[in-house]
Homo-oligomer: A and B are copies of this chain.
Amino acid sequence: MYGAGDVRVEEVPDPTIVEPTDAVVRVTLACVCGSDLHPYHSMPASEEGAPMGHEFLGVVEQVGDAVTDLAPGDLVVSPFAFSDNTCPFCREGFHTACQHGGWYGAGGVGGAQAEKIRVPQASGTLVKLPSDVDASMLPSLLTLADVYLTGYHAAHMGQVGPGKTVTVVGDGAVGLSAVLAAKQLGAERIILMGRHQDRTDLGRTFGATHVVAERGEEGVAKVLELTGGEGSHVVLEAVGHMPAYEQAYGVVRPGGVISRVGVPQYEEAPIGFGSLFGKNATLNGGPAPVRAYIEAAIPQVLSGEIDPGLVFDAEVSLDDVAEGYRLMDSRERLKVLVRP
């Protein structure tokens, strides 16, 4: 990406092993993330450009000397952030804070919207998939790189469980994934706040029991009405813009939890007596440590217990990735697969 709206496909040298802990993976399937749309809107024009994409699965082509548990030919899925899986923060389940981790597309590491990618900390990062997996399963397995397990992280941090009313703010792919995760964790009622009917219909498929199309104060009033004036035990905020956060603290119940996974497009926000403190509301969430959840989710996908790949409603080749961005940005499509 060379600036807002300026996505180009270019021939670059193949990645190679730089550190002994690296692997090079040939990308089988990648996709465009809602978070890729933030720079698509706002990135200043740049001479160098930035490699894009952080969600992929593929086949290991080459490993560094220190990588003993992976071999060329292995089918693997990668979390959207790399991590060593051994540092104190990884051991506590917060791999996105790994002391030796980092992000794709930055610091000399390429993006996943590409034919090949170098994976730092390969042993800690990559998770093997059965080599004979049916190709029809690959989109759902790809969601474990980010979108589904980001929704799952929201629900996990939000302490979703039986008997809980959960409100999901946002009907994008992460919001819908959060609906599916909340259902998995046993939520009693799932209220989806979104106004795109094709999306909220998928939300109902995933487990939403109510849809609130209204936004702002009207939307808050509607959720309060649905909860007998008491508010929602859990709010999963999957947007990242201030109005979504305002809705979140408007509908959360005293003692409830707001769990955010939409990357905040703000730094300061209300947290004083009138928003969080007075209600004893909890605020948490952050970049999802999907590495912590991925191994448990693979069998759920393979058994058909969950079908998170339903969020993909379009596919482009690598040459057409700019069209993929356009389709998502215009909201013509929910989430776009990229097949190199």
Binding site for B on A (CB under 8 A): 88-89, 92-94, 96-97, 157, 230, 253-255, 260, 263-264, 266-287, 289
In the complex, the answer to whether A271 meets B255 with C-beta atoms within 8 Å is no
In the complex, the answer to whether A94 meets B280 with C-beta atoms within 8 Å is yes
In the complex, the answer to whether B269 meets A278 with C-beta atoms within 8 Å is no
Q: Which of chain B's residues have a CB closer than 8 A to the CB of A270?
A: 267-268
- A255-B89, A268-B268, A268-B269 given as contacts; is B280 within 8 A of A287 (CB)? yes
Oligomer copy total:
2
- A283-B283, A284-B282, A284-B283 given as contacts; is B273 within 8 A of A271 (CB)? no
Partner of A284, one of B230, B263, B264, B280: B280
- Chain B min CB distance to A98 (Å): 9
Minimum CB distance partner of A94 in chain B: B255
In the complex, the answer to whether B287 meets A255 with C-beta atoms within 8 Å is no
In the complex, the answer to whether A255 meets B285 with C-beta atoms within 8 Å is no
Minimum CB distance partner of A93 in chain B: B255
* 5 closest A-B pairs by CB: A97-B254, A280-B286, A267-B272, A94-B255, A282-B284
Partner of A267, one of B230, B255, B273: B273
**Complex CA–CA separation, A242 to B255 (angstroms):** 23
In the complex, the answer to whether A277 meets B263 with C-beta atoms within 8 Å is yes
**Complex CA–CA separation, A157 to B282 (angstroms):** 9
**Complex CA–CA separation, A130 to B24 (angstroms):** 72
**Complex CA–CA separation, A282 to B282 (angstroms):** 7
- Chain B min CB distance to A263 (Å): 7
In the complex, the answer to whether A284 meets B287 with C-beta atoms within 8 Å is no
Q: Contacts A89-B230, A282-B284, A283-B283 given; 10 further ones with Cβ under 8 A?
A: A89-B254, A94-B280, A97-B280, A263-B273, A264-B277, A267-B270, A269-B271, A277-B285, A280-B289, A283-B284
